[in-house]
Amino acid sequence: MLTPTLPLRIGVLGSGSGTNMQSVLDAIESGTLNAELRLVLSDVQDAKILDRAARHKVPNAWLDCAPFKTKLDGEAEQRCIALLQAHGVDTVILAGFMRIVKPGLLNAFPQRVLNIHPALLPAFPGLEGWKQALEYGVKLAGCTVHFVDAGTDTGPIILQRAVPVLTDDTPETLHARIQTQEHLAYPEALRLLAAGRLRINGRRVEVS
């Protein structure tokens, strides 16, 4: 069983608008998630996720990840870890973070790095999972909250939420419907973690 830490002390890594971070923040502020948002970091200097954090008076910063374009590694990874630890973070969530995280971060926060992916893993990992699903012709799409491991969207699955794929769906309409479920799924997964109800057993996450 993963020992509960109440409240969770969350650090966020994001690259875009930050709607999933907002859903977590809303759950915290409404009292439905026992957690504190300690720090928001973005690899994009003008990302909206930093503006969202600032509006809620959450410490935030741009993380320069050069020279790498697709991963968090090297000196940037070490700066990231140091910043998260300096702010007392014990749980890291990826919220639209468009970089591959490496073992340094995972080892610094063992079994405490989570991601949300816009597809029903293990199907359609990687970029634009909703678009992959639509092009493949599946009848169900959705989202997955999972623990992060060294692979790409391969970590143990915590929970999933499904949506139907409609005959007239476009990538945009399907993505919007999946995002609605993402905003419910991420706080739900974090509530389970905060309550100590998750146990990783090999590839499986057992919920008590």
pLDDT tens digits along 42-88: 999 999 999 999 999 999 999 999 999 999 999 999 999 999 999 99
- Residue 142 token pair: 């959705």
pLDDT tier at 203, thresholds 50, 70, 90: confident
137 pLDDT band (50/70/90 cuts)?
A: very high
| pLDDT category of residue 12 using cuts at 50, 70 and 90 | very high
Residue 3 has pLDDT above 70, yes or no: no
With a pLDDT cut of 90, the percent of the chain lying above it is 96
The confidence score (pLDDT) of residue 2 equals 55
Residue 172 has pLDDT above 60, yes or no: yes
Residue 13: its pLDDT value, please?
A: 98
pLDDT value at residue 202: 86
* pLDDT in the model for residue 98: 94
- Compute the average pLDDT of residues 10-32: 97
For the annotated catalytic residues, the residue numbers are 117
Question: Cα separation of 128 and 206, whole Å?
Answer: 28
Question: Given a cut of 80, is residue 185 above it in pLDDT?
Answer: yes
Lowest-confidence segment of 40-44, 53-57, 92-96, 149-153 by average pLDDT: 149-153
Residue 4 has pLDDT above 70, yes or no: no
CATH top-level class of 8-207: alpha beta
Distance in angstroms (rounded) separating the CA atoms of residues 10 and 112: 10
